């Protein structure tokens, strides 16, 4: 029994020594932490895998070839794609020159077309004073939003977003343009409203309903679905949605261990108040909400994690020397618990279907709880107490997630001053090992 206790004590001792060693090394590298963090994220962003998903291409000869297409969840209209016939074959690039059409089954479909694209800027600082569109004839891939008797398309690049519809076998632009009529007044060319009303053949859709449709994907998509069904929900049409069955919010429970240090220095050179409380190993628990951004295959998220953490050190002895040369004993203690609320961004680098790495950066808002304070007993006669203040610092984490359920993360926080505005600098810093389980 004594042997077991001795072994347990040795394990705890070596675990604490290891954690202190790791923390010291990380603190030494703290100045380069942000640069390193950003560099790793950028490099993994370049090398991270995109999924190949079932689909087909129709080549320029009109042949349909089934296989799988690399799906990067395009924000802008692509000009080429990566395609492979089966899982064992190597990928091949196909450009707009080689193919007429491609589809990722049920998620995205693009067709090649020569169309008039209005290249007028929609940027407030670059609006023109011309009401008419600045059409340029282009051969582009158009994204199919709704396909049926009435088909809606979209073209997107860094500068413009334009919609088109199929009319009598020809793809026609839906015209919308903002333009200046004075230095501070903006007008709109809403020709698209008249176009929609002209080909609407559904009596249940009123002219006023069409007039209220905004020039965006959400509004136009709803209208085109209504035009295709026109009261008959079973009418044939196809809607392509990259976001099918996606979850845009996750909630996770995240317990872990904090390795924290606190060092207090007095600015007035009164070493009575100088005290290094060393490093403590404590428990932390957090509930993380994760909001998935609908872009880049769900790789970017916004995170917020209210977390309970604490640090406590009982009566540390601090020796000082009086003007008479007498060495006297003082005691210092700290009691600190708080709710930390990290708010930040996370990036996922996909390794395979079940595994991915993640990197996050957060601003941490710290709210002390209860009677959080530093207490000094000076020469055993005078007691001074300093309330611990709220504060903000930064946190950087790297972790691994398995099967979208289980995770492990290493997180380092920058230094935070617990006693702001006084004569004492209280430098608090934490390194954490965090485990996570995603509830949904």
Instruction: Report the range of poorest mean pLDDT among 85-99, 107-121, 130-144.
Output: 85-99
CA angle (74, 303, 260) in 5-degree steps: 135
pLDDT band at 22 (very low <50, low <70, confident <90, very high): very low
pLDDT of residue 292: 93
Which of 239, 269, 299 delimits the end of a domain? Answer: 239
Domain check: are 108 and 186 in the same one?
Answer: yes
Domain check: are 191 and 67 in the same one?
Answer: yes
Mean pLDDT of 237-242: 78
Q: Is residue 9 assigned to a domain?
A: no
Q: Is residue 30 assigned to a domain?
A: no
Residues 245-255: pLDDT tens digits? 668 899 999 99
pLDDT of residue 103: 93
CB crowding 3-32: b at 16 or more within 10 Å, else e:
eeeeeeeeeeeeeeeebbeebeeeeeeeee
Domain check: are 273 and 197 in the same one?
Answer: no
Domain that holds residue 94: 51-239
Q: Is residue 224 assigned to a domain?
A: yes
pTM over 0.75: no
Residue 275 pLDDT more than 80?
Answer: no
Q: Is residue 195 assigned to a domain?
A: yes
Q: Is residue 63 assigned to a domain?
A: yes
Which of 184, 215, 239 delimits the end of a domain? Answer: 239
How many domains is the chain built from?
Answer: 2
Q: Enumerate residues 6+ apart whose C-beta is below 8 A from 273.
A: 264, 265, 266, 332, 376, 423, 424
Q: Is residue 391 assigned to a domain?
A: yes
Q: What are the strands, taking DSSP E only, across 267-299?
A: 275-292
3-class SS at 408? Answer: strand
Reference 397, options 437, 354, 346; nearest CA is 346
Domain check: are 265 and 198 in the same one?
Answer: no
Task: Residue 300: give its domain's CATH number.
Answer: 2.40.160.20
Domain check: are 321 and 409 in the same one?
Answer: yes
Compute and round to an integer the Cα radius of gyration of the chain. 31
pLDDT of residue 324: 73
Q: Is residue 151 assigned to a domain?
A: yes
């Amino acid at each position: 029994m004594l042997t077991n206790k001795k072994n347990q004590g040795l394990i705890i001792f070596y675990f604490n020594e290891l954690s202190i060693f790791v923390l010291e090394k990380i603190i030494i590298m703290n100045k380069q932490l942000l640069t390193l963090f950003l560099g790793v994220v950028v490099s993994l962003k370049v090398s991270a895998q995109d999924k190949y998903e079932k689909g087909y291409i129709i080549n320029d000869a009109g042949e349909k070839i089934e296989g799988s297409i690399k799906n990067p969840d395009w924000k802008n209209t692509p000009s080429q794609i990566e395609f492979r016939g089966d899982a064992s074959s190597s990928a091949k690039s196909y450009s707009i020159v080689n193919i007429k059409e491609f589809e990722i089954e049920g998620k995205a479909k693009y067709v090649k077309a020569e169309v008039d694209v209005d290249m007028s800027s929609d940027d407030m600082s670059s609006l023109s004073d011309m009401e008419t569109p600045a059409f340029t004839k282009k051969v582009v891939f158009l994204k199919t939003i709704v396909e049926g008797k009435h088909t809606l398309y979209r073209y997107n690049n860094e500068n413009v977003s334009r919609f088109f519809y199929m009319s009598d076998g020809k793809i026609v632009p839906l015209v919308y343009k903002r333009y200046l009529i004075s230095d501070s007044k903006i007008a709109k060319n809403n020709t698209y409203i008249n176009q929609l009303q002209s080909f609407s053949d559904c009596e249940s859709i009123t002219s006023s309903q069409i007039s209220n449709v905004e020039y965006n994907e959400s509004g136009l998509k709803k209208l085109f679905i209504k035009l295709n069904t026109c009261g008959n929900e079973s009418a044939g049409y196809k809607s392509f949605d990259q976001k099918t069955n996606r979850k845009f919010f996750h909630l996770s429970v995240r317990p872990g261990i904090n390795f924290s240090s606190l060092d207090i220095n007095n600015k007035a050179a009164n070493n009575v108040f100088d005290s290094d409380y060393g490093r403590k190993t404590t428990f932390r628990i957090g509930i993380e909400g994760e909001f998935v951004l609908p872009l880049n295959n769900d790789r970017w998220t916004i995170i917020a994690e209210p977390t309970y953490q604490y640090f406590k050190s009982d009566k540390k002895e601090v020796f000082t020397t009086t003007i008479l040369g007498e060495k006297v004993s003082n005691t210092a203690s700290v009691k600190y618990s708080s709710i930390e609320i990290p708010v930040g961004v996370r990036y996922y680098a996909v390794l395979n279907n079940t595994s991915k790495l993640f990197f996050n950066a957060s601003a941490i808002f710290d709210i002390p709880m209860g009677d959080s304070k530093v207490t000094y007993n000076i020469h055993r006669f005078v007691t001074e107490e300093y309330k611990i203040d709220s504060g903000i610092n930064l946190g950087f984490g790297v972790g691994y997630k398995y099967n979208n359920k289980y995770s492990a993360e290493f997180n380092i926080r920058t230094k935070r001053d617990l006693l702001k505005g006084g004569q004492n600098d209280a430098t608090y810093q934490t390194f954490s090992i965090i485990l996570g389980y995603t509830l949904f």
